[in-house]
Each structure stands twice: as C-alpha cells, then as structure tokens.
C-alpha cells in the first residue's frame, strides 16, 4: 500500500485509557511516530488469534463521544492526546479501500507466517461451538467481571 510502518517500541501502559487506541504497545504498527494499527495476538499451540483496529478515516470525535469521562474537559483532553499520537490510514494512503487493506493484511500474514490464507466458511461443529459459547458464557457479564472497570 506504500505506507512505511514499523512495530511500535512502546510498552503496555500500567494506566490504560478507555480509548486503548490512544497509546501504543509492542504489537502495534506506527508510521512517522503515529499509531496506525492497534493490535493484539494470542497464540495457542499452532493457532493464532489476531485482533486489530485500523481506522481509515478520522472519526475520533464520534468515538470519544461514546466513552465515559468524568467531565467534558477530560473528554476533550483525551481526544487531543489521541490526535497527537494517532492518525488514520487515509493520512498516508488517501485512496486505500477496505479491500486494499484486507489484501495487504492477507499478504503480510501469509509472508510472516509462511502460510497461505484461503477464504472459507466455518464448519457446522465450529458454528455449534460458537452458539454454545454465546449461550453458556458470553451472554452473561460474569465472564468479564474482573476484566472490566467502569470509570
């Protein structure tokens, strides 16, 4: 896509923001000092779960309006800090589409992991496990009580 990016050299904050995208970790991609891709990975045996976020456009004001802050002043300060540290992809690649991004990620992961990524559908057993997890675990808030702290 023509954007020069590198892994962030920042470490996980001990005081994370409600807007996690406002700070970088070693799993994130940056360009010119700005965070472009927020990323997290979990490896289990030979399986990888990649979760990430890549804003194409600046919708930060809309996003920050949905977060809880103690005051409007605190929200504005957080938004200003966010804009100092991050930028959307269209800053560097104004015509990039989601299809371009998907192709770039597929190519990058294929190269890095030395594996071909082939589109496919979930099997019936995978769908059944997903339904079971929704019903038995994820439909209840208890599973994340210790992970969530409202400000």
Could you give the residue numbers annotated as active site?
20
Extract the runs of DSSP E, i.e. beta strands, from 21-151: 29-31, 34-44, 47-53
**Where is 100: in which H helix or E strand?**
helix 98-113
First to last CA, the chain: 38
For residue 94, the 8-state DSSP code is T
Residues near 32 by Cβ (< 8 Å), separated by ≥ 6? Answer: 92
How far is residue 105 from each of residues 44, 94, 108, 113, measured CA to CA in Å? 21, 17, 5, 12
Q: How far apart are CA 143 and CA 135, in angstroms?
A: 12
């Amino acid at each position: 896509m023509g954007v020069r990016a590198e892994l962030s050299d920042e470490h996980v904050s001990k005081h994370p923001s409600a807007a996690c995208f406002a700070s970088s970790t070693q799993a994130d991609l940056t360009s010119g000092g700005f965070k472009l891709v927020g990323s997290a990975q979990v490896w289990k045996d030979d399986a990888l779960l990649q979760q990430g976020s890549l804003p194409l456009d600046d919708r930060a004001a809309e996003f920050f309006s949905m977060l809880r802050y103690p005051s409007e002043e605190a929200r504005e300060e957080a938004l200003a800090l966010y804009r100092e540290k991050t930028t959307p992809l269209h800053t560097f690649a104004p015509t990039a589409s989601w299809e371009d991004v998907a192709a770039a990620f597929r190519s990058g992961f294929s190269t890095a992991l030395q594996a071909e990524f082939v589109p496919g559908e979930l099997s019936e057993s995978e769908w059944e496990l997903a339904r079971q997890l929704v019903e038995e675990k994820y439909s209840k808030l208890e599973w994340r009580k210790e992970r969530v702290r409202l400000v």
